Amino acid sequence: MTLTDSLGLAYRTVRSNILRTVITVFIIAFGIMALIGIITAIQAMSVSLKDSFSTMGANGFTIAYKERFRFGNDNESEKVDKTKKVKKSNLDKPIQLREAEQFKAAFKYPALVSIALSGPGANEIRYNSKKTNPNVSVRGGDENYLLVNGFSVEAGRNLNLMDVQTGRNVCLLGSDVVNKLFGVDNKAKAVDKIVSVGGIPYRVVGILKSKGSSAFLRADNVIITSYNNVRRMSNVSPSFVIGVNADDMQLLPGAIDEATALFRGIRKLTPQDDENFAIEKSDKIAATFLSLLSSILGAASAIGLITLFSAAIGLMNIMLVAVNERTREVGLIKALGGKKKDIRQQFLFESTIISLIGSIIGIILGVLIGNIFSLILGTGFVVPWGWVLTGIIVCSIVGLLAGLWPAIKASKLNPITALRYE
């Protein structure tokens, strides 16, 4: 019996046992669907995170209150000198406006400095009879806030120095807010209109260009006003945040060193005191989130492989049942001159064909299910080609291993005994 004959016979056998084939295929498909679906969803989340942080730039960093700002573990920053201590007067001390403004005035490095204060995060914005969902964030900044944080003005103007100093009720609307209140085609008409934020009227001076708001940052669902205006609101952050954007990425290490030394002096820390503030690079924040997703990916892969292992056991049991059902057929093949190798090939081909069909169905279902997250996050269709190839290879190996013992068992049957089997 040639290799082609064995393969053809295996294919015809698979087609003739529809019920058993369908059950086995879906056992395999479920395992690979779980693996590919989870990985596709995680890749969609990774793309969304990268898009969210891409506008922050690789040449920026943030100075924030240490106890309220911590992303990941920086090995260098976590090496605390035991000879240093934090002054008791500086414990639990948020960054004050005076300190932020002093830093902005004194920082002479080639960089842009912005001062920000987070306002309440669950606001309902109204314009005439229209209103948004009560989930709009209010952010306070200065004239440099948009540039440092990757925003740009689509219509109207930016905040100016007079807006910041007086804290008057003017604001810029994010793209999602404008679409909700004025419609997609009427964005420019929102400029100079009066909207209500928490029952207080604000004049719209500008419209922000969309940043491609993600489910993680919701960067377009915001209202930006001056930090002096936000100070009058309730439920605001107790600490100001300083954003620094170096003119060139090569200048970033020097900018961080300069900022650290300057702000230590402003915070009145002695050489023996540890910093009571945190400096985080923009790309490090994104890298921390992505590392968390990598950990989830590892756990998800383990779960998917365990599912595939269970599917392999199910496939092997079904193939063993097939051996018992076709004992007389095996005996007939041997009586006609078939060799042990031919019998093994036939059963291995059957299990591999079933496994590959299951893998293809599972991959298609997994990609479709995983891309539900892509639709939610707005990242576009994602196909993890590397894992698709891996899934096909793994399923081929699963099919071979699952069919190996049944194939060996069938090849060792005595032809006389097999022909007499009822």
Question: Quick one: which of 349, 348, 369, 351 has its CA closest to 28?
Answer: 351
Per-residue pLDDT at 59: 77
Per-residue pLDDT at 284: 61
Same domain? 163 vs 65: yes
Same domain? 267 vs 298: no
The SS3 call for residue 285 is helix
Same domain? 20 vs 162: no
Per-residue pLDDT at 15: 75
Domain boundary among the residues 248, 282, 316 is at 282
Per-residue pLDDT at 164: 96
Give Cα separations from 44 to 253, 293, 299, 300 (angstroms).
Answer: 32, 11, 17, 14
Q: Which two tokens stand for residue 236?
A: 């605001």
**How many other β-carbons are positioned within 10 Å of the β-carbon of residue 421?**
14
Same domain? 145 vs 265: yes
Number of domains in the chain: 2
Residue with tokens 């997250």: 373
Per-residue pLDDT at 291: 72
- In the chain, what are the helix, strand and coil shares in percent, each to the nearest 5? 55, 15, 30
Same domain? 367 vs 414: yes
Per-residue pLDDT in tens (0 to 9) along the chain, 422 residues = 566 766 776 777 777 777 777 877 887 788 788 778 888 887 777 776 666 555 555 678 999 987 654 444 444 444 444 445 544 444 558 999 999 999 999 999 999 999 999 999 889 999 999 999 999 999 999 999 999 888 899 999 999 999 999 999 999 999 999 999 998 777 888 999 999 998 999 999 999 998 765 544 567 899 999 999 999 998 899 999 999 988 887 888 899 999 999 999 999 988 888 888 888 876 666 666 667 767 777 777 777 777 777 777 777 777 777 777 767 776 677 676 767 777 787 778 888 888 888 888 988 988 888 888 777 766 677 788 887 888 788 778 877 777 777 778 777 776 666 555 55
Contacts of range 177-182, beta carbons closer than 8 Å, 24 or more positions apart: 177/125, 177/132, 177/136, 177/220, 177/221, 177/222, 177/223, 178/207, 180/125, 180/130, 180/131, 180/132, 180/133, 181/125, 181/126, 181/127, 181/130, 181/131, 181/132, 182/127
Same domain? 261 vs 347: no
- Report the distance separating Cα 367 and Cα 344, nearest Å: 34
Per-residue pLDDT at 153: 93
* Domain span at 117: 56-282
Question: Quick one: which of 15, 3, 112, 26 has its CA closest to 307?
Answer: 26
The SS3 call for residue 297 is helix
Same domain? 255 vs 373: no
Domain boundary among the residues 257, 282, 307 is at 282
* H-helix or E-strand spanning residue 197: strand 194-197
Same domain? 306 vs 221: no
- Report the distance separating Cα 130 and Cα 17, nearest Å: 62
Domain boundary among the residues 282, 312, 327 is at 282
Same domain? 153 vs 227: yes
Q: pTM for the full model? A: 0.59
Per-residue pLDDT at 230: 95
Same domain? 77 vs 221: yes
Strand partners, 137: 222
Same domain? 270 vs 309: no
Same domain? 274 vs 321: no
